[in-house]
Amino acid sequence: MKNKRFLIVLAAFVFAAAVFAVAWSRRPAAEPVPGARKLKIVTTLFPLYDMAGAIGAGKAEVSLLLLPGVEPHSYEPKPGDIVRINEADIFIYTGGSMEPWAEDLIKSVSNKGLTVLNAGLGVTLMRGTGTGPAEPENAPDPHIWLDLDNAGVMAGNILAALENKDPSNKDLYQRAAAAYRGRLAALDTAYKTGLSACRTKEIIYGGHYAFGYLARRYGLKYLAAQGLSPDSEPTARDLVALVEQVKKDKIKFVFYEELTSPRIAEAITGETGAKMLLLNAAHNVSRDQMERGVSFFDILQSDLDNLREGLECR
């Protein structure tokens, strides 16, 4: 009798345990702990992606609007881009001069809680003097991140946006931003030291006019084959002028740009016997670079190495 009663109790316990297990397996997923959800940040250009990722310090999910390998000047937004921005907490772009298409996208966004950040706020845009073959006449140069002081301003703007959106992690963001700015300062010192004693200070660039800020900061002369957009075509006179300049000054290296055909640099080196070196303005990265985790600092360090070789620096 006792055994029978024990078996009945045991069976009831097993049944109850089974019901509980099924109920537990079917329960809704636990809601995230308040404050634990990562900020969603969408950026337009690679320098912004790198800055936001570093300053976000693991508390932000940062994505790049451009697909790897896409040149941003002539980028045409897709309907899916609006969806991505609508789902974000923060959208970061460089400014209307660099990404006019970004301002059109913003007008289509319905997310009232979205923070839209122009990371170039507070930066004074350079304007061309028109003295070089393709130097723009009084046009604003949007490649502001290639002056490392400007990059520091951009990082500060991104920090302010993160602090405002997620004040609970303010101290973390501040520490990460301070570390990022420290790396910018160290790289700036490396550029000043590394380019202080060179045989030539002349950059001949077979690409669009992207390095005006960098040239000004480090006292270099910069001649580009194209204007501010890679779509601009150099005239025959422009190319002849660059070829003559290379020959006259015995320039041994001509620089070419990332993510576009190097045909212009190839044409100049074909006429002069000079060699080619990459000078990457860091607008975007290739798919391989993205997969390898290449950073903004990696790109600018490679540029410094190539500038030192191309300008024959000691």
* Domain match, 71 and 172 both: yes
Do residues 237 and 247 lie in contact, with contact meaning Cβ atoms separated by under 8 Å? no
Is pLDDT of 10 > 60? no
* Domain match, 142 and 235 both: no
Closest of 274, 254, 273 to residue 265, by C-alpha: 254
Model confidence at 97, pLDDT cuts 50, 70, 90, reads: confident
Model confidence at 134, pLDDT cuts 50, 70, 90, reads: low
- Tell me if 127 is assigned to some domain: yes
* Domain match, 58 and 169 both: yes
Domain that holds residue 52: 39-190
Q: Which of 9-13, 99-103, 138-142, 190-194 tops mean pLDDT?
A: 190-194
- Tell me if 3 is assigned to some domain: no
Tell me 59's DSSP state: S
Is pLDDT of 71 > 60? yes
The dihedral region occupied by 44, where left means phi > 0, alpha psi between -120 and 50, and beta the remainder, is alpha
Examine the fold and report which residue of 190, 209, 230 is the final residue of a domain before the chain moves on.
190
- Tell me if 295 is assigned to some domain: yes
Among the residue ranges 22-31, 159-168, 188-197, the one predicted with the least confidence is 22-31
* Domain match, 180 and 47 both: yes
* Domain match, 210 and 181 both: no
Is pLDDT of 142 > 70? yes
* Domain match, 43 and 151 both: yes
* Domain match, 68 and 202 both: no
- The mean per-residue pLDDT over the stretch 164-187 comes to 98
Supply the pTM of this predicted model. 0.86
**Average per-residue pLDDT in the chain?**
87
Write the CATH number for 252. 3.40.50.1980
* Domain match, 51 and 181 both: yes
Sheet (strand 253-256) strand order: 221-224, 202-205, 253-256, 275-278
At residue 65, what is the residue type? Answer: L
* Domain match, 183 and 220 both: no
- Tell me if 131 is assigned to some domain: yes
Closest of 161, 189, 171 to residue 39, by C-alpha: 161
Q: Could you report the per-residue pLDDT of 263-289, keeping only the tens digit for each?
A: 999 999 999 999 999 999 999 999 999
Model confidence at 133, pLDDT cuts 50, 70, 90, reads: low
- Tell me if 13 is assigned to some domain: no
Q: Count structural domains, the chain.
A: 2
- Tell me if 120 is assigned to some domain: yes
Examine the fold and report which residue of 142, 169, 190 is the final residue of a domain before the chain moves on.
190
61: Cβ contacts below 8 Å, ≥ 6 apart: 38, 39, 40, 41
Tell me 63's DSSP state: E
Q: Give whole-number Cα distances, 264 to 24, 95, 235, 268, 275, in Å.
A: 66, 28, 11, 6, 13
Is pLDDT of 145 > 60? yes
* Domain match, 134 and 167 both: yes
Examine the fold and report which residue of 141, 174, 190 is the final residue of a domain before the chain moves on.
190
